[in-house]
Amino acid sequence: MSRNRSGHSLVHSALDIKSWQQQLPTVEAVRPARCPACGAASHPVGGPLGLHGHGLRERQVRGPAGPNAPAVLLVLKLRRYRCLPCGAVILVGPRELLPRRHYSAAAIGFALALYGLVLATAREVRRRISPQTILGATAFTGWATLRRWTRAVAHRRLFAALPSSDPSAMLRRVAASAAASLAAYAAPTSRGEALEHRAFLGAAHAA
């Protein structure tokens, strides 16, 4: 569980963005088993429902749908629940969503791999990951967002489950080690694919 700026908890469902988009899951299908705030069972046996469906909430998510796909901006509808015992509002969404990040976990994992392992320039990483086509002044010196992600990884504010890296290391080194760790989360069936593609796939599971 994690909290976003508005204090809502974000809970991952097992669904990925693609399946979520194809068919919005029902309130019942993705209702969390317990309230992440107070731990109350959402559907106690023989008791009243603890977590009630509380409508939908739109959320933007940026990045390519696959390693070879163009970068896009999607607007997803997340499921919202309210906990009757404690009043908490809980958002449930696809597993690639990260709290407080506009980009999908897969997009960020891919960006780290392109920068750290493929040694792409920051500008090239931006071209592959960002749906924004108008480049600001920062495009000439690098991509501030990429630096922010890499620093966040080094300080374990992003992909906190990864082994710690030395925050004083060069950003490319930090990105490379994070991307290699993310690739290890990818399904064994992807073993024949390029490491940066596996970082894309693995990041969705490390979110």
158 neighbors 145 (Cβ within 8 angstroms) = no
Report the nearest approach of Zn ion to the CB of residue 186 (Å).
Answer: 34
Report the nearest approach of Zn ion to the CB of residue 95 (Å).
Answer: 22
Report the nearest approach of Zn ion to the CB of residue 33 (Å).
Answer: 12
Distances (CA, A) of 124 to 76, 118, 137, 141: 27, 11, 15, 12
Does residue 35 interact with Zn ion by CB under 5 A? Answer: yes
72 neighbors 62 (Cβ within 8 angstroms) = yes
Report the nearest approach of Zn ion to the CB of residue 100 (Å).
Answer: 22
With CB under 5 A as the contact rule, the residue among 38, 69, 72, 135 that binds Zn ion is 38
Report the nearest approach of Zn ion to the CB of residue 184 (Å).
Answer: 34
The number of residues that bind Zn ion (CB under 5 A) is: 7
Closest to Zn ion by CB, 78 or 206: 78
Residues 41-100 that bind Zn ion (CB under 5 A): 83, 86, 88
Closest to Zn ion by CB, 79 or 128: 79
Closest to Zn ion by CB, 38 or 161: 38
With CB under 5 A as the contact rule, the residue among 17, 37, 125, 199 that binds Zn ion is 37
130 neighbors 122 (Cβ within 8 angstroms) = no
Angstrom distance (rounded) from CA 79 to CA 90: 8
- Tell me the window of 14-22, 40-48, 70-78, 107-115 that interacts with Zn ion (CB under 5 A): 40-48
Closest to Zn ion by CB, 35 or 71: 35
Closest to Zn ion by CB, 86 or 184: 86
Residues 115-154 that bind Zn ion (CB under 5 A): none
Chain residues in the site for Zn ion (CB under 5 A): 35, 37-38, 40, 83, 86, 88
